Every structure is written in C-alpha cells, then in structure tokens.
Structure 1
Amino acid sequence: MKAVRVHGPGDVRLDEVEAPVAGERDVVVRVAAAGICGSDVTYVRTGGVAAPATEPFGLGHELAGTVETVGAAVQGIRPGDRVIVNPMGDGNAIGAGVPEGAFAPWLLVREATLGGAIHRIPDDLSFDRAALAEPLSVSLHAVNRSEAKPGDRVVLFGAGPIGLGILIFLKQRGITDIAVVDTTDHRLDRARRLGATLTVNPDRQDLREALGVAFGTGELFGWPVVNATHWFEVTGSAAVVDSIVALAPFHARMVLVAVHHDPVPVNFQMALGKEMTIVTSMAYPDEFPDVIAAIEGGVDLSPMISHVLPFADFEAAFATAQDRHASAKVLVTFDD
C-alpha cells in the first residue's frame, strides 16, 4: 500500500509499504478521512517530532474510518465498526515518530481497546466530521484548562482549526463575549460564522482600541489595560505573548495553547504587577468522549473545514494546509 512517511528534514514521501497485519491485541482500521495538522507540517520541517528521526516514520494522527480486522484477544471491537482513533490511546503515538501514520489506506492500532484508542461512532456521522475529533479535543482541553465561565470576557488570538474549536466550546459553555484576533480575513470570517462577538485584524485595526471598545479599558500602575478576563494564545507568536501581557488587566488568565519552538521573553514585572495566571494546555488527557458527544449532538463544524482532497492528491493537500491565507482544516479522504 502507499503511505506518507517522513525521511528527514523537509523530506516527505509517498512510499510503498506492506499493508499492516493485526497482532493478537491489535486492530487494523481502514482510514476514511484524515486531517492535516500544523504538527504534521512541523514534523516534516524538522524531520522528526523534536529532532530528526533515525528511521522513516508515518505521518498523520487525525482520523476516522472502519475497523477492518481484529486480533483474537481484542474485546468489544468488531470488523465493520465505524470509529474514531485516539492516536495517543492505549500507548500508541500514531503519526508522531512511529511507523504508523494516518495518511495510508490502512492503519495498525496496537493494544487496542474500546474507549482507549478506539471510539465507536454512529452510522449517520460522516467521517469528515468524525476526523475533527482529535483537534477538537485539543481545543476542549484548552477551554477546560482556562476555567472560563458565563460572564467572562475572552480574547482569542489565532483562528486556525484549534482556535475555531476553542471558540465552539466557549460558546457551548455559555460565554458570549468573545473577540477573535487573526491576520487572515477568511479565518476571521469563519470565526464570525461560529459566533465570535468581535473579530480584529491587527494588520488593519488598532488592536488595543478595537478590544477596548468591546470590553472597556482601564489603567493599572500607569499601564493601559483592556478589561477581558481570559486570553488564549493559539498562534505560536512571541509577539502575541508580549501583547497579551501588555493588554491584560489585573487577575487576567492567559492560556498558552500553541507550540513555541524558540524561547519567548516575558515581561514578568508586568505579569507580576497584574497577578496574572499563566496556564499551559497540551493535548487531551480526558476530552475525547465529550468531544465525540458534541459532534454527535450536531455542533456546526462546517466553518472549520476549508478543503477536502483525495489521498491521490496528498501533495497538493499538504501544500494547501501550509498556506494559512488559503486554508483552515484540510482533510484527505480515501476510497471505500
């Protein structure tokens, strides 16, 4: 079968590999849809997860499909089950430095358990929507870490797929005052479709002024501030961290969701004076079931998806996913 694998920095190939065979405690999933993540782009650029890998590894970790074969010792999972795969479940690390990756027609899931790596979905849930469960789980974990509640005022920097997912779950939590900041107009349009109260493009608008009109302004120790309670950083930009610390008011909460690949200087004098709470959010230790329930409940996910391309066009799909001015979530689909 054909499988996308990373061979080194900037070296991603469509290789011919053996189709997987399930061991006694494994399952093989026939992939129907898989999303391209910013992490995939970073892994290709790096040639590995954190450093260049010594062996080629499979790419892709956001997927849904149908169980093809089941090992003799696997319980509760049957061939034909329509499923979402948690790539980190049951000790797997799918698409993160191991041979298995989602960009292949069949995927081996090791030591598979129902509710661990394998989550069953109903027949009427499309695979395109189901494949969004992984990035949405990242988003929900960030919202959980934020402890945001109705009545809070939120500024969300970054309207890519993770940021849009955060917006979805903030709205579900009853939070109505949400400003989304991004330099890409089509992503801001997607945020408006999902219910953002205010969208700001700082390339064309004064950020402090626009946020101040929405949330009010104040002053602390001579520092002008914007009266928003929660600030999400989903861009990976050091300049955004600096802006948040500068703009946030007393007792504000900053949630760092994006990966910063270089050290980021922080004005801790200002953060200290404001008694800011700085929270980091990584992956999704417990969120998969709640996300699946939200998807099954009919939450509108259409603004998150910008492109759906067949696996045969993976090269074009991957190029599109790297162009933030042209894309949101790019999905790759496989023939039945």
Structure 2
Amino acid sequence: MATMKSVQTGAVDKIDVVDVERPMPGPKDALMKIRACGICGTDTFFLHIGGGPFGAGGTMVPVPLGHEPAGEIVEVGSEVEGLKTGDRVVVNPQGSPSGIIGCGGKHGAMSDYLLLEDCEVGKSVTVFPDTVPFDVAALNEPMAVARHAVNRSEAKPGDKVVIFGAGPIGLGAAIWLKLRGVEHVVVADVIASRLETALAVGADAVINSAEEDVTSRLTELHGQAANALGQPRPGTDIYIDAAGVAAVVNTTVDSAKWGAKLVMVAVQKKGADIDLGGMLRSELTLIASQGYPTEIFEVTQEIVEHHERFAKLISHRVPFGEVEHAFELALTPGAAEKIVVTFDE
C-alpha cells in the first residue's frame, strides 16, 4: 500500500502529521500532487477546538486540514475531460462530493496528494499557466472570498471605501477594489507591518486604529457628509469588516453617513451589541458576505495577470518538512500575515 503524509488536527492547538493511504483515482477522478497550500483562519479554528464535532453523538474527531492548494495533476481518470497529466491547477474546496476539502470533508489538501473526486474542469478544478508560482496560485481560494465581498459591496469607481483588517482577505479586497477602478480605498489595522503591505498592494491611505481616531481620519480623507439628522459624518460610502471584532461594527455605526453600507466578510469572534438607533439615523445597510458562490474560478485569470501584486500578500513560505512551525506561526497573533506551506517539486 502506497502511503503519503497528511496533516490533521491533533490535541487542542496542535497538529498531527500522519501516514495515510495514497488515494487511487477512479474513472471520474484525478490525483493532484500538492505543491503549495495556504493556512487559513478556518484551519486554526479547528485546531482551537481540537477537531470537528462530526463523530457519532457529536464527538470530536480529527479533521484533515488544508483547503487552499495549488499543484499539478499526476493521474487522470479515463472519463475526465479537459485535464491531463502535468496540468497546474487550483481547486474548488466546495466542489468535492465527500465534503468540503479541509473543512470537515474526507480529504484535506495539506497533504502530499489530493484526490479530486468527480473531477470537472470549471466546477471542481481549473488550470493556470506556469508563469505563476504555485505559492501565489494557492491564494486563489482566499482571493475568491475577498472578491465576493467586493462584489457584494457593489462598489463603483466614484465610491470611497474603508477596509478594517489588513489580513489576506482585507488586503485582497483592497486589490480587487483598485482593479475595479474604485477612487479611494483606505485600510485600517493595528499592526504597522500590515499597513505597509496595504500601501504596497495599492491602498490609497492607511489608518493605524490603535493610534489614530478613525472617524476623524476618515473625514480628512473622504470629506464631510452627514447622517439623516444632519449630524456630521465622514463621506465614506462603504465599510468592509475583514477583522471580525465588535469595535469595527461600533465604529462603523458611529461614523456612517446617510446611505452608507457595511459589508461583513469576517467571522465575528464575539457577538456585538449593535446600536440599532445609530443604524436608523444613517440608514446603514448591513450586507453579509459568505464564501464564493460564483467567484472561485472567476478570480484565477486576474491573479495570473497580476500575480506579482498578489505575491506581496505572502509573508511566510514554510517547507512542508517544517509544517508544525508553520501552524505555530498561524496560531500566534500578529506573528504572520499569510503563510503558505510549500512542497518539494
């Protein structure tokens, strides 16, 4: 029996690197050799709880990790069309019939190989050219999340936007907004190095919200408007929450002009008491953004075209042989921006 290395949840805040059987593709499947795989906040969520409550009676069981892979096809089933050995591909983690890859499904992509079940080009997998490094291609999934948030915002070129949170999703949203031609994009965070990255990828301005008054700074940058009662407010049109903390919601409600929008893409770490009266006074629209209903492969060609810009989002490239260290970094607040684990070619 051929085996491979695969990462799964272990004890709380620990991973286990285990030997598992190497998948054998059937006629409708393909086998992908993983060359790079990003680490996401969802991975660390499963680590914090020590697995997933998917066993009998809701008991915790190990979860195979990894849902941001890029790699190459090494075997193709006889019924798979449009794919050949050697193709460089990214995948749709939600396109697997046995469950979401790396998020409670049967398979995880933080492994030597990944089985692509019922493989269909354009639905479960798409091909990218060799001009793009595997580590940058592995950003495809989180950049689809960021793109959906921007799509949900319906931002127009003349809009003024602020993004709270300069992690990969927030920075990805900044890139998509600027590529869309949005006039002015501000990124707010509390970590100086992340704000430097925001400027490097094209943000027009940044705010260190630990040191600056956000509302006053936004008024300087976006001009002064008013809420429905005529009270002065910044001229910001769209607020994007890519941080997931109550302070973002509260700041937005306090700052929003009449008709502003708040797009929530981050998972809220704790529930926030929302000032509904404040929302009423600005007619603030709250828009939730979840996943990537259509965007998973819509983003691929633009990542190819602008791959050098997207590469700036990666702060750490860690070899698979040091994957324990990669997850230690991911579990340490502020230690890394975006970690991509690389595999031998």
Instruction: Say whether the fold is shared (TM-score over 0.5).
Output: yes
- Choose the corresponding residue for 1:181, options 179, 188, 191: 188
Say yes or no: does 1:85 pair with 2:94: no
Which residue is 1:102 aligned to? 109
Which residue is 2:156 aligned to? 149
Could you give the per-residue CA deviations for residues 36-85 of structure 1, whole angstroms, max 9, x where no partner exists?
A: 11111111112345787643221010010011112232222222211111
Which residue is 1:37 aligned to? 40
How far apart are the structure 1 equivalents of 2:145 and 2:117? 22
Task: Give the alignment of 1:116-131 within 5 angstroms.
Answer: 116-131=123-138
- TM-score, structure 1 length as denominator? 0.95
- Choose the corresponding residue for 1:18, options 14, 17, 21: 21
- CA offset at residue 320 of structure 1? 1.6
Which residue is 1:292 aligned to? 300
- Choose the corresponding residue for 1:251, options 245, 250, 259: 259
How far apart are the structure 2 equivalents of 1:7 and 1:223? 53
* Secondary structure class of the residue paired with 1:168: helix
Task: Give the alignment of 1:2-17 within 5 angstroms.
Answer: 2-7=5-10, 9-17=12-20
Amino acid at match of 1:208: T
* Secondary structure class of the residue paired with 2:171: helix
More displaced stretch, 84-93 vs 64-73: 84-93
* Secondary structure class of the residue paired with 2:93: coil
- CA offset at residue 208 of structure 1? 1.7
Which residue is 1:333 aligned to? 342
Task: Give the alignment of 1:261-280 within 5 angstroms.
Answer: 261-280=269-288
More displaced stretch, 43-52 vs 203-212: 43-52
Asked if the contact 1:184–1:324 (Cα under 8 Å) also holds between the matched residues in 2, the reply is no
User: What RMSD, in angstroms, separates the aligned Cα atoms of the two structures?
Assistant: 1.8
Structure 2: state its 5+ residue gaps: none
How far apart are the structure 2 equivalents of 1:8 and 1:116? 35
How far apart are the structure 2 equivalents of 1:78 and 1:85? 15
How far apart are the structure 2 equivalents of 1:211 and 1:174? 20
Say yes or no: does 1:60 pair with 2:66: yes
How far apart are the structure 2 equivalents of 1:322 and 1:191? 22
How far apart are the structure 2 equivalents of 1:273 and 1:314? 50
How far apart are the structure 1 equivalents of 2:311 and 2:87? 25
- CA offset at residue 19 of structure 1? 1.1
Structure 1: state its 5+ residue gaps: none
Identical amino acids, percent of aligned pairs: 39
Aligned length: 336
More displaced stretch, 196-205 vs 320-329: 320-329
More displaced stretch, 49-58 vs 256-265: 49-58
Asked if the contact 1:47–1:53 (Cα under 8 Å) also holds between the matched residues in 2, the reply is no
- CA offset at residue 212 of structure 1? 1.3
How far apart are the structure 1 equivalents of 2:243 and 2:288? 14
Asked if the contact 1:226–1:249 (Cα under 8 Å) also holds between the matched residues in 2, the reply is yes
How far apart are the structure 1 equivalents of 2:201 and 2:152? 21
- CA offset at residue 114 of structure 1? 0.7
How far apart are the structure 1 equivalents of 2:226 and 2:131? 53
- CA offset at residue 105 of structure 1? 0.7
- TM-score, structure 2 length as denominator? 0.92
Asked if the contact 1:254–1:278 (Cα under 8 Å) also holds between the matched residues in 2, the reply is yes
How far apart are the structure 2 equivalents of 1:18 and 1:212? 58
Which residue is 2:199 aligned to? 192
More displaced stretch, 47-56 vs 34-43: 47-56
- CA offset at residue 294 of structure 1? 0.3
* Secondary structure class of the residue paired with 1:97: coil
More displaced stretch, 316-325 vs 13-22: 316-325
